[in-house]
A and B are shown apart, each in its own frame.
Chain A
Amino acid sequence: MKADPKGVLTGSHFLDGDHACSEGAIAAGCRFVAGYPITPSTEVVERIAERFPLVGGVFIQMEDEIASSIAIQGAVWGGKKAMTVTSGPGFSLMMEHIGLAAMTETPCVFINVQRAGPSTGLPTQPAQGDMMQARWGSHGDYGIIALCPNSPQESFDLTIKAFNLSEQYRVPVLLMLDECVGHMTERVVIPNADEIEAYPRRFYNGPKEDYLPFKPDADLVPPIIKAGDGYRIHVTGLTHNEKGYPVMSPAAQAKLIPRLVNKIRLNADKIIEYREDQVEGADVVVVSYGITSRVAIPAIEQARKEGIKVGHLRLIVVWPFPEKKIKELAGKIKSFVVPEINLGQMVLEVERNAYGKVPVKLVPHAGGTVHNPKDIYNAIISSLKGE
């Protein structure tokens, strides 16, 4: 399906990553946003508040992030595409409701413009410290999808992708920006609406009496309906059967929860997206995401000038993690280098999939700014020496 042209600002703009995200949401068909102000994400909701009245959307500034993260779910069951927007402390408050969305298979989007933590940390400065929280922050087992843009243009593009994936898989999708991408201003090209794909909600269209709200299609995703259509559905965060009714048994748990995980795991090849730059034939591969993927470039170029075969694998979809790709590379290359603005998060996934076959070198950063490319360069050199 093509995007609704209403509100699509076709043309070339000079936007920061936060504003580009707002435009991406509007282009994707998002018409309900609930949020609570927090640096460095606030510009996203400010632009939404400015733009929504004339595109037929509802923006509401809720009393906190707990409220925001569940108001959007009510809106989804009311028939809207919906998102909420936050940063570290607010993201922490939203965790219970990421689990609720996963459990009730409510398609919705969470935007997290990452700042340095823990706690109030460095409110105005960047980090990539919420990557594991994005995957595992709510209790219990479930699956989510997370994306990491590295530019305002990608912030626009990936916000649309986030909505599309959330509709396709009926999962919460997390767009993990960082303060740099959120606040950097660059050219953003917004295409014509008829060039933008908007994945339609998977509304059920069979006979009413046969509808089972949590009976999956072949791809493990159940079709959805909305309140008011006469289905008299029941939606609960309790473990439930295909009818949606609570069933308090290990058997019901064993049927439902693996499906929630597998609908992401088994569709991972379709979901995963990354960019490769000279990865083929490389001795060292730098695995990066978000702003760090741009900071790594001078380091990689410097090493290449010196004749070192450095590949660059940039993750766009971070969760599900591209396990196969890392496993495949681990059999071919001499080392991985993983720079990230945290003290070691996605590196754990690289290590797990490299499985001891090759060294994996973390280039940590406690946050507040980006890496000095020199540190990444040094890691490339030392990783080849087996250090």
Chain B
Amino acid sequence: MQDEIYTIEETMPINPVESYLRMDRMPHIWCSGCGIGTTVNCFGRALETSGLDLDKVSIVSGIGCTGRVAGYLNLDSFHTTHGRPIPFATGLKLANPELKVVVYSGDGDLLAIGGNHFIHAARRNLDMTIICVNNFIYGMTGGQVAPTTPISATATTAPHGNFEQPFNLPYLAESCGAVYVARWTAYHVRHLTKAMKEALGKKGFSFIEVLAPCPTLYSRRNKLGDGLDQMMFYKENSEIKHGVDTKTVSLDFQGKIIVGKFVDRERPEYLELMNKHYQKKFGDKYTPYKG
């Protein structure tokens, strides 16, 4: 699989993902050294290799620095409200099952204010791909503590250091029912691209957590240097452990980072269950729902 990706990179023009971006919206708003753009590059490459009809791919974001991703991708794109891209995506997908629906948003958006929607969409196994850029902080609003902020890291609203226990996102996603769960960092561009491609090809609720530097509000404040220093840190401290028990992948402040594909399983997807159920119940009277 990796070889395939190498080959594609070599044959790419200078900016290989330009055609996946709304170039008329450049320059983007992200700070230099921010990891979000790197993940978008990977996503563009994943789209390229996915074989999907891009007219049928919709991207939905919430609000935040990551929430701006929808606005830069040359797809049908929806920039919704803070925390609510998943329920918006739910309506979109159920209205037109032919669409491939991707939710791309921040850790605060998806797991703090949007946490309830996340767990229920995973439980229902709605057919959508969730890409969560975890920068351990609320970027857009200026560096407040998030449900992912590691213990002892500081944030503007945890100026004396955070003492709340953070989420272990892969464990959460798996226990709620996600069929695909992976974690990578902005350093692991090839693995991340491959994971995105796999998630896009998966039927059901797929989840990718991407650790990404926020130099402006997280790393500098925590004396971890800038974006490059964070990338070096990811490189040196990540350990790939495919299939490992997600219970064991929680993150400590500047501790070891377990990355990999943790879950890849089959569970019947929402609409499939709905159609099967009603067919059984109503027989010929029921026309299978296709949108």
- Residues of chain A touching chain B, judged by Cβ–Cβ distance below 8 Å, are 32, 34, 53-54, 56, 58, 60, 62-64, 66-68, 70-80, 82, 96-97, 100, 226-238, 245-246
Instruction: List the 9 closest pairs (A to B, CB-CB), nearest first.
Output: A78-B95, A74-B91, A74-B92, A75-B91, A67-B87, A71-B91, A236-B79, A75-B95, A78-B96
Contact status A60-B90, CB under 8 Å = yes
Cα A22 to Cα B287 in complex, Å, equals 21
- With contacts A53-B278, A234-B22 taken as known, whether A58 is within 8 angstroms of B80 at the C-beta atoms is no
Contacts of B116 in A (CB 8 A): 63-64, 67
Interface members, chain B 275-291 (any A CB < 8 Å): 278, 281-282, 285-287, 289, 291
**Can you list 29 A-B pairs, Cβ within 8 angstroms, ordered by A?**
A34-B87, A53-B281, A53-B282, A53-B286, A54-B282, A54-B285, A54-B286, A63-B87, A66-B84, A67-B120, A73-B88, A73-B91, A74-B87, A74-B90, A74-B93, A77-B78, A80-B95, A97-B81, A97-B84, A100-B80, A226-B96, A227-B78, A228-B96, A231-B76, A232-B74, A234-B70, A235-B79, A236-B70, A237-B79
Contacts of A63 in B (CB 8 A): 87, 116-117, 120
Cα A245 to Cα B74 in complex, Å, equals 12
Contact status A234-B88, CB under 8 Å = no
Contacts of A66 in B (CB 8 A): 83-84, 87
Greatest chain A CB density within 10 A among B58, B74, B83, B278 is at B58
Contact partner, B99, options A32, A68, A228, Cβ 8 Å: A228
**Nearest neighbor of B120 in chain A, beta-carbon distance:** A63
Contact status B92-A227, CB under 8 Å = yes
Cα A147 to Cα B254 in complex, Å, equals 57
Contact status B117-A232, CB under 8 Å = no
Cα A60 to Cα B289 in complex, Å, equals 14
Contact status A74-B88, CB under 8 Å = yes
- With contacts A53-B286, A74-B92, A75-B91 taken as known, whether A227 is within 8 angstroms of B81 at the C-beta atoms is no
Q: Mark B67-83, 1 if CB is under 8 A from A, else 0.
A: 00011001111111101
- With contacts A53-B282, A228-B56, A234-B77 taken as known, whether A74 is within 8 angstroms of B95 at the C-beta atoms is yes
Contact status B99-A78, CB under 8 Å = yes
Cα A238 to Cα B25 in complex, Å, equals 14
- Residues of chain B touching chain A, judged by Cβ–Cβ distance below 8 Å, are 22, 24-25, 55-56, 58, 60, 70-71, 74-81, 83-84, 86-96, 98-99, 116-117, 120, 274, 278, 281-282, 285-287, 289, 291
Cα A208 to Cα B68 in complex, Å, equals 25
Given A60-B94, A232-B75, 5 other A-B residues pairs in contact with their CB atoms under 8 A = A67-B116, A71-B87, A73-B80, A228-B96, A230-B55
Contacts of B80 in A (CB 8 A): 70, 73, 100, 237
For the complex, would chain B's binding face be called helix, strand, loop or mixed by DSSP majority?
helix
Contact status A75-B79, CB under 8 Å = no
Contact status B55-A67, CB under 8 Å = no
Contacts of A96 in B (CB 8 A): 81
Contact status B55-A229, CB under 8 Å = yes
Contacts of A231 in B (CB 8 A): 76
For the complex, would chain A's binding face be called helix, strand, loop or mixed by DSSP majority?
mixed
Contact status B81-A78, CB under 8 Å = no
Cα A97 to Cα B83 in complex, Å, equals 12
**Nearest neighbor of A233 in chain B, beta-carbon distance:** B76
- A49 CB to closest chain B CB (Å) equals 12
Contact status A67-B84, CB under 8 Å = yes
Contact partner, B81, options A58, A70, A82, A245, Cβ 8 Å: A70
Greatest chain A CB density within 10 A among B24, B91, B92, B286 is at B91
Contact status A62-B81, CB under 8 Å = no
Contacts of B95 in A (CB 8 A): 32, 58, 74-80, 82
Contact status B71-A228, CB under 8 Å = no
Contact status A232-B90, CB under 8 Å = no
Cα A72 to Cα B95 in complex, Å, equals 9
Contacts of B278 in A (CB 8 A): 53
**Nearest neighbor of A226 in chain B, beta-carbon distance:** B96
Cα A195 to Cα B81 in complex, Å, equals 39
Contact status A227-B76, CB under 8 Å = yes
Contacts of A78 in B (CB 8 A): 91-96, 99, 291
Cα A75 to Cα B74 in complex, Å, equals 21
Contacts of B24 in A (CB 8 A): 245
